[in-house]
Amino acid sequence: MEDSQEIEEQVQEEVISDNATEKKQETRDDMLSRHRKEISQLQKKEIELKKAAARGSKAEQKAKKKQVEEEVTRLSADLKEKHAKELAELGYSNVGNGNEKGNLDSLIKAIAGVSVTNQPERARVSKAQQKRDRRAQQEAEREQRIQAEQSDTISDRTIENEKLEKKLKPLGLTVCEIKPDGHCLYRAVEDQLALLSGGRSPHTYQELREMAAAYMRKNSAEFLPFFLSENLIEDDSDETPAQKFENYCKEVESSALWGGQLELGALTHCLKKHIMIFSGSFPDVEMGKEYKSGDGAASSNSSIMLSYHKHAFGLGEHYNSVVPT
């Protein structure tokens, strides 16, 4: 890694510079002070390396992170070895022998041999990062549950789907499966827009995310009360309600955060489309009735039609696209 090589050279140059000025006989306190300074410098370089490794794709970040860990471990070991040699030159051995220097050895090693890689990084992890980590863990668990339930023969999901099929069949409609990846609501809407346009959707699922987030921000007074009522459990931060809502909007537009009522409410106004949500577990829901076709009826030619699945893969919520048979 070019970044790590440059930083390593900087560390070496700083150490060499320090050594040049410290060739004069140092006292024990002077040496310990210099050691602490060198350790602090290496810790700062470690942070710089990690920041540099955070750029790029997830795969690149993962590879860079491993390289940084190996590089920092090596630099830390080299610095410890250097410090141990310098302490030995002052007569401090690795074994306590009862004399003053031997008795001071453990104290010196504790001060000068601080581990760079074992610093309590968790204390520096932001709340936003902790939330992202929790989200990543939830996504991993979600994928595991999907795999585990693929082989189910009789389940709540089966019953729900049968009820939904009986509801849709007389209407000449059926469910078009959408990938359950956290973007399902937006992908389902994208599929509907493509169907209504007779070709390609005018908006990608990512653009729909951004549109929903922008609309909610602009109309926060309308959405904030509903957001707070749905997010009363996670209230362990010092953020204001407005800050929490802004962070939520950021997640909507930049992550795989599941979409629901709030986002559907925003999309119906962004797109100026009537949205019909069919369900095998709950009564059907209509949103944006003011955008219905001229005769006031929901039509497959003008309305966005989705299906809501409470028991899809045991994941709580999932949306599919509803299309003509």
DSSP 296-319: S---TTTSEEEEEESSGGGSS-EE
Do 188 and 321 touch, CB atoms closer than 8 A?
A: yes
Among 304, 268, 273, 32, smallest CA distance to 173 is for: 304
The one catalytic residue among 35, 203, 274, 318: 318
Is there a catalytic annotation at residue 309?
no
Residue type, 63: A
Token pair 């693929």 in the structure block, residue: 150
- Out of 78, 176, 181, 270, the active site residue is 181
Give CB contacts under 8 A, 24+ apart, made by 97-103: none
Main-chain phi, psi angles of 323, to 5 degrees: -130, 160
Length of the chain: 325
Q: Tokens in use for 63?
A: 């590879």
User: β-strands 285-287, 318-324: how paired?
Assistant: unpaired
Choice among 184, 191, 203, 249 that is catalytic: 184
Kindly state the helix (H) or strand (E) to which residue 55 belongs, with its residue range: none
- CB-neighbour burial class of residue 109 (10 A; exposed 0-12, middle 13-18, buried 19+): middle
Matching residue, tokens 């389940």: 155
CA angle 173, 179, 181 (to 5 degrees): 140
Distance CA 208, CA 205 (A): 5
Q: What whole-number distance in Å separates Cα of residue 305 and Cα of residue 274?
A: 9
Q: Catalytic: 181?
A: yes
- Measured CA to CA, the distance from residue 91 to residue 269 in angstroms comes to 78
Q: Which residues are catalytic?
A: 181, 184, 318
